[in-house]
Chain A
Amino acid sequence: MTDEPLLRVSALSKFYGSRVGCENVSFDLWPGEVLAVVGESGSGKTTLLNCLSTRLLPSSGTASYRMRDGQFRELYRMSEAERRFLMRTDWGFVHQNPADGLRMTVSAGANVGERLMAVGDRHYGKIRATAVDWLSRVEIDEDRIDDEPRAFSGGMRQRLQIARNLVTGPRLVFMDEPTGGLDVSVQARLLDLLRGLVTDLGLAAIVVTHDLAVARLLSQRMMVMKDGRVVESGLTDRVLDDPRAPYTQLLVSSILQV
């Protein structure tokens, strides 16, 4: 329990003019932890994710990240180049729409290999072997390695995007509605895959979702957002089984039973 968090977020706010994107969000994230951020569209969860991943700069507040050398660095004080390097090596970002995270006109193997080259791998045979290995880990057949993701189904594209993100061995992965827009059976397979990878690799992850079932399956901790603010947070099963805030009670009671 003496180890330090990977990410420390303190009083983070983002305003769009006078409109609140997210306001006064604070939390710590430890290695191996999956934090779900839930709420309806417009609740500020995606704004928060974009601020944390430095795709957006917040209006106020701080976020510090523990680098591989053990030193905490203030994210919003890094140079653009440093942030991009972090994004390429130590972080992953899984978009809801795989087309946003993939290069659709190069092969599946190149999509995975490209990230490896970005961290300095130059040996073609090794890169291809690693790509094959990662494609199989996300259950894509080796004989599809030279196909472009344009020729893949939605579920396959999403799995390819995950492989592309995880191949560099990141310590923190951001996911924005990773199962959104997929058929239920495809979702189940993807969730199971994600769950296994997160456990095996000891990843920390921040998953934005409006789907409480996805949050229950993937995360240990949860934050519920409404109108840009965190209205409740805690252990995922505690928040879902004993919701305290009025808004969380509304969300939980709105789940359809099957």
Chain B
Amino acid sequence: MPTPLVVSDVAKSFTMHLRDGIKLPVVAGVSFSIRAGECAVLGGPSGAGKSSILKMLYGNYAVDEGQIIVQHADGLIDLATASPRTVLAVRRQTIGYVSQFLRTVPRVSALDVVAEPLVERGEDREAARGKARALLAQLNLPEKLWALPPATFSGGEQQRVNIARGFITHHPVLLLDEPTASLDARNRDVVIALIAEKKAAGVALLGIFHDHDVREAVADRIIDVTTFAAGKRAA
């Protein structure tokens, strides 16, 4: 079985043009791969570049150097150089992403926020809503909230909407940026179970988890991001 995601020699820095063009190196020489059915966890202290790596893999941050090869639509795509249109197609079909924070849209209900990724992939709206209901129930989001836009929800409630939105599709690669940060123990366990289901289904997962118990429960291996530190010699 081909490896769904291979990262080689990726480097990233930020050039701050409003600050006299100072260059902030973030990471360099980032190399790893993720197999189908495993959950790898990015480890290292805050500021080591964990989130930046996830964002590059999702096309949300530009890549300075290196390759991000993803198995997409029976071929291989280098996300580091792919056109915006290709990145959008990869996001639709191949790589899913659960961010820490939900970006809400005015007037769209929590249920439709969750169902939307399936609708975008051409699934029938009612069928998608059915799956959204099941996930929101599994994540213990009170049913009276489902029809409301999540803008006014608590942090934990928004995060559960976000998790449901990220887990509803069957992307072969799933990126998780601290999906359990504002959850109580009961809901953390639900997320751990959801991750186990994805693994069993052959999904390749890469995540950031600061919560030690969650990391212990889901990680098949830790990728130490400090070995990719770029800031030591520069700046």
Within A123-148, the residues touching B (CB, 8 Å) are: none
Interface string of B64-104 (1 = CB under 8 A from A): 00000000010000000000111111000000000000000
- Cα A191 to Cα B104 in complex, Å, equals 13
Are A1 and B86 in contact, CB atoms less than 8 angstroms apart?
Answer: yes
Instruction: Tell me whether A235 and B87 are in contact in the complex, defined as CB-CB below 8 angstroms, given that A189-B106, A195-B105, A250-B18 are known contacts.
Output: yes
What DSSP secondary structure best describes chain B's contact surface?
mixed
Within A204-258, the residues touching B (CB, 8 Å) are: 217, 220-221, 234-235, 237-238, 241-242, 244-246, 249-250, 253
Is A72 part of the contact surface with B, judged by Cβ < 8 Å?
A: no
Is A56 part of the contact surface with B, judged by Cβ < 8 Å?
A: no
Are A238 and B62 in contact, CB atoms less than 8 angstroms apart?
Answer: yes
Is A188 part of the contact surface with B, judged by Cβ < 8 Å?
A: yes
Is A152 part of the contact surface with B, judged by Cβ < 8 Å?
A: no
- Cα A130 to Cα B168 in complex, Å, equals 36
Are B18 and A246 in contact, CB atoms less than 8 angstroms apart?
Answer: yes
**Chain B residues positioned under 8 Å from A242 (CB to CB):** 14, 55, 60-62
- Cα A199 to Cα B105 in complex, Å, equals 14
Number of interface residues of A (CB under 8 A): 24
- Cα A245 to Cα B60 in complex, Å, equals 16
- Cα A220 to Cα B55 in complex, Å, equals 16
Is A30 part of the contact surface with B, judged by Cβ < 8 Å?
A: yes
**Chain A residues positioned under 8 Å from B59 (CB to CB):** 235, 238
Is A82 part of the contact surface with B, judged by Cβ < 8 Å?
A: no
Is A177 part of the contact surface with B, judged by Cβ < 8 Å?
A: no
Is B108 part of the contact surface with A, judged by Cβ < 8 Å?
A: yes
Are A238 and B105 in contact, CB atoms less than 8 angstroms apart?
Answer: no
From B62, B89, B107, B120, A1 is in contact (CB under 8 Å) with B89
**Chain B residues positioned under 8 Å from A30 (CB to CB):** 85
Are B17 and A221 in contact, CB atoms less than 8 angstroms apart?
Answer: no
Interface string of B42-74 (1 = CB under 8 A from A): 000000000000010001111000000000010
Are B61 and A241 in contact, CB atoms less than 8 angstroms apart?
Answer: yes
Are B84 and A220 in contact, CB atoms less than 8 angstroms apart?
Answer: yes
Tally of contacts, chain A with chain B, CB under 8 A? 55
Is B16 part of the contact surface with A, judged by Cβ < 8 Å?
A: yes
From A199, A235, A245, B88 is in contact (CB under 8 Å) with A235
Is A176 part of the contact surface with B, judged by Cβ < 8 Å?
A: no
Is A192 part of the contact surface with B, judged by Cβ < 8 Å?
A: yes
Are A192 and B15 in contact, CB atoms less than 8 angstroms apart?
Answer: no
Closest to B120 in A: A199
**Chain A residues positioned under 8 Å from B62 (CB to CB):** 234, 238, 242, 244
Is A23 part of the contact surface with B, judged by Cβ < 8 Å?
A: no
**Chain B residues positioned under 8 Å from A33 (CB to CB):** 85
Instruction: Tell me whether A192 and B105 are in contact in the complex, defined as CB-CB below 8 angstroms, given that A241-B55, A244-B62 are known contacts.
Output: yes
- Cα A33 to Cα B84 in complex, Å, equals 11
- Cα A255 to Cα B102 in complex, Å, equals 19
- Nearest CB of B to A216, in Å: 8
- Cα A30 to Cα B89 in complex, Å, equals 12
Are B84 and A234 in contact, CB atoms less than 8 angstroms apart?
Answer: yes
Are A249 and B84 in contact, CB atoms less than 8 angstroms apart?
Answer: no
Are B18 and A253 in contact, CB atoms less than 8 angstroms apart?
Answer: yes
- Cα A215 to Cα B201 in complex, Å, equals 36
Are B61 and A238 in contact, CB atoms less than 8 angstroms apart?
Answer: yes
Are B106 and A188 in contact, CB atoms less than 8 angstroms apart?
Answer: yes
6 A-B pairs with the lowest CB-CB distances in the bound complex, closest first: A246-B17, A188-B106, A235-B84, A242-B61, A192-B107, A221-B84
Show 24 A/B contacts (Cβ-Cβ < 8 Å), sorted by A.
Answer: A1-B85, A1-B86, A30-B85, A188-B106, A189-B106, A189-B107, A192-B105, A192-B106, A199-B120, A220-B84, A234-B62, A235-B60, A235-B84, A238-B60, A238-B61, A241-B60, A241-B61, A242-B14, A242-B55, A244-B15, A244-B62, A245-B17, A249-B17, A253-B18
Instruction: Knowing that A192-B106, A199-B120, A246-B18 touch, tell me 16 more A-B residue pairs with CB under 8 angstroms.
Output: A1-B85, A188-B106, A189-B107, A192-B108, A217-B105, A220-B88, A234-B84, A235-B60, A238-B59, A238-B61, A238-B62, A242-B62, A244-B15, A245-B17, A249-B18, A250-B18
